[in-house]
Structure 1
Amino acid sequence: MSATLLDRPPLAPTHDVFHVDRVLRPATPGPPRAHKIIAVLPAYNAERTLAATIADFPPGSVDDILLVDDGSTDRTVAIAREMGLSVIVHPKNRGYGGNQKTCYQYCLDNGADVVVMIHPDYQYDARAIPHAVGIIELGICDVILGNRVRSRPEALACGMPWWKYISNRALTMFENVALGQNLGEFHSGFRVYRRRVLETVPFLRNSDDFVFDTQFLIQAIHFGFRLGDIPVPVRYFDEASSINFRRSTKYGLETVETVARYWLHRAGLWRSHLFKPNG
């Protein structure tokens, strides 16, 4: 059997720091690419998992890697700069949504055709990046999400807490029915967008908190973009970040509220600024 055919993705959350040129400028470059691909990492206290996350990027899979640090109190910024990443620092914590706003504005300002957003906590397998990007480049979808819950046994065996699994399944089922979609999950920290999505979705109006992700996807649906997903196994371990039960509950309630706002706007009963075009 080929050594590249693995039974399960490797879990090696500690790597020595290395320079990002290993990813951006591989020794044996592939064929020229027609699109500029920028990967963004919204980071907060990610010093223990940052290098591991970048180490799994296939060489030559992206043209630039940006880390936006949201007021970390550890060595995230120092490590990112030592690795040669593009870095933007928020002196004060703006929240997860506020971090992504900076990420996506950078991509628009720097000519990205395709944007990869991946959490730098090593929960998501970055080796899947070329495959997700390829679906965008083929014109099959405008948004691709990494689906962590391909099956219940796999998700739980990889360490997903049972309460998080249940809430993920319940919210995803609710959103699929309410929004006319068929996604494996709506709540992934691995996402790939076509540039046109970022140009159209008024993401700067969104929350600075975790519900930003839900608002963004519902806006993309509202503006007619095509959503899809690919399986990306989840990896939970001590160094990985995860919001607690209280924050997850708040996120769930805000998700339901956003779906309700979408339907009220669509019915013309209450116009929401989240679904008004840019400009």
Structure 2
Amino acid sequence: MKPKSSGNSHQDSENNQKRSTIAQKAYVETPSNLTTGETLIGIPAYNEGTTIRPVVEAAKRYASEVIVIDDGSTDNTVTEAIEAGATVVQHEINRGYGGALMSIFRIAQDKQVDQLVILDGDGQHDVSDVPKLVKKQKETEANIVIGSRFAGGKSGSIPLYRLIGLRLIALLVNIIFKHAYNMKAISDTQSGFRVYDKEAINSIAEESSIASDMGASVNILFHAANKGYEISEVATNINYNVIDANTHDPIRHGFMIISNLLEKLIKDKPKKILGLTGSLFVMFGSCAYVLILIAPSNVIEFPSIVNVLPVFVLSLFIISVILLK
């Protein structure tokens, strides 16, 4: 793990080594409270030292064991998570969100759990909604249950630029799912708050191509589509006012998601790509342009919103034509 910079490099090195040792002992020596068939909560974390403790403490109420994957943090995430009662597994280098997720799935597979709950470590997910998602999975026997910001037609207090970006990406994903996989629409394709059953856990743990940074959330949905998995959703709220919440450049993030979409479509359904490629590029162009126009000035600069309307309307028209074919 890369040491945090300070004026005393020798002391930093010693502290860093101590934290690494503690993390390894927490995983190797701490006896697991989990028995086969129970629910495990997994939390990918990177520099979440200010928020991870309350998240772990809240999560412990709903599972026999909480595992935190520290993805090469340079702050006190490891110490805070251990002191809060989590089992911590530490990546020596940052592997990205997808890499942290894969570590969680492989641990869940080894422990042979029936349900795996994934939560973010920044406090944005409402941990008290875990029982709702777990109950939904048991009642419906769905392979994946998603905590959705949009289920029931609600969008809460999502910032406008983020709301439009999420909606547009969900539209693109659902167009592909409908025409290439005959899947029903998913309202929140980007939500990382999910519950997985044993079948999904085992198959995802074996799928190395899923580990693709923040694109892992969509990659998992493509994996589910190929497997014919049942996906259900439960309404939940996301807190966007937490300290040090994870944020991503909306344009860069959008390009990465669309790139993953096209890569998956070409690989899985090559005959479908010709009918969808043009519309996806047009729609994504609108998505990027809208985000440029409405994102806060400290994220990206933007001109007048009037300029976006013709492009946006044209894109919706093209998509509508495709859907009506």
Normalising by structure 2, report the TM-score. 0.66
Q: Which residue does the alignment assign to 1:206?
A: 210
The counterpart of 1:191, out of the listed 170, 191, 194, is: 194
Deviations 1:95-139 (A, max 9, x none): 111111111101111121100001011111111111111122224
Matches of 1:123 and 1:228, distance apart in 2: 21
Q: Which residue does the alignment assign to 1:242?
A: 247
- Opposite residue 250 of structure 1, the aligned amino acid is F
Unaligned runs of 5+ in 2: 1-31, 178-182, 275-325
Greater Rg over alpha carbons, structure: 2
Matches of 2:56 and 2:85, distance apart in 1: 11
2:92 aligned with 1:81? no
Unaligned runs of 5+ in 1: 1-23, 26-32, 270-279
Secondary structure of 1:138's counterpart equals helix
Taking a change above 3 Å as real, the CA distance of residues 230 and 170 of structure 1, as seen in their structure-2 partners, is same
Percent identity, aligned pairs only, is 22
Deviates more, 1:129-138 or 1:249-258: 249-258
The counterpart of 2:262, out of the listed 248, 254, 257, is: 257
What value does the CA root-mean-square deviation take over the aligned residues?
2.6
Deviations 1:169-218 (A, max 9, x none): 01112222321222221000201000111222343222331111111111
- Opposite residue 134 of structure 1, the aligned amino acid is K
Taking a change above 3 Å as real, the CA distance of residues 125 and 119 of structure 1, as seen in their structure-2 partners, is same
- Per the TM alignment, residue 249 of structure 1 is displaced from its structure 2 partner at its CA by 2.3
Matches of 2:135 and 2:39, distance apart in 1: 11
Tell me, yes or no, if the aligned pair for 1:203 and 1:216 is still in contact at 8 Å. Answer: no
- Per the TM alignment, residue 257 of structure 1 is displaced from its structure 2 partner at its CA by 1.5
Deviates more, 1:231-240 or 1:258-267: 258-267
Secondary structure of 1:171's counterpart equals helix
Matches of 2:84 and 2:215, distance apart in 1: 31
2:48 aligned with 1:46? yes
Q: Which residue does the alignment assign to 1:221?
A: 225
Q: Which residue does the alignment assign to 1:277?
A: none
Tell me, yes or no, if the aligned pair for 2:57 and 2:85 is still in contact at 8 Å. Answer: no
2:59 aligned with 1:57? yes
Secondary structure of 2:262's counterpart equals helix
Q: Which residue does the alignment assign to 2:164?
A: 166
Deviates more, 1:38-47 or 1:250-259: 250-259
- Opposite residue 171 of structure 1, the aligned amino acid is I
The counterpart of 2:184, out of the listed 181, 184, 197, is: 181
Q: Which residue does the alignment assign to 2:110?
A: 109
- Per the TM alignment, residue 63 of structure 1 is displaced from its structure 2 partner at its CA by 1.5
Count of residues paired in the alignment: 235
**Which is bigger in relative contact order (C-alpha 8 A, separation at least 6)?**
1
Q: Which residue does the alignment assign to 1:30?
A: none
Normalising by structure 1, report the TM-score. 0.76
Taking a change above 3 Å as real, the CA distance of residues 122 and 166 of structure 1, as seen in their structure-2 partners, is same
2:76 aligned with 1:67? no
Tell me, yes or no, if the aligned pair for 1:124 and 1:234 is still in contact at 8 Å. Answer: yes
Secondary structure of 2:133's counterpart equals helix
Q: More helix by proportion, 1 or 2? A: 2
Matches of 2:171 and 2:59, distance apart in 1: 31
Matches within 5 A, 1:6-155: 35-57=37-59, 59=61, 61-150=62-151, 154-155=155-156
Q: Runs of at least 4 residues of structure 1 off by over 6 A? A: 266-269
- Per the TM alignment, residue 258 of structure 1 is displaced from its structure 2 partner at its CA by 4.1
Tell me, yes or no, if the aligned pair for 1:172 and 1:183 is still in contact at 8 Å. Answer: yes
Tell me, yes or no, if the aligned pair for 2:105 and 2:202 is still in contact at 8 Å. Answer: no
Matches of 1:52 and 1:208, distance apart in 2: 28
Taking a change above 3 Å as real, the CA distance of residues 207 and 162 of structure 1, as seen in their structure-2 partners, is same
- Opposite residue 196 of structure 1, the aligned amino acid is E
Secondary structure of 2:124's counterpart equals coil
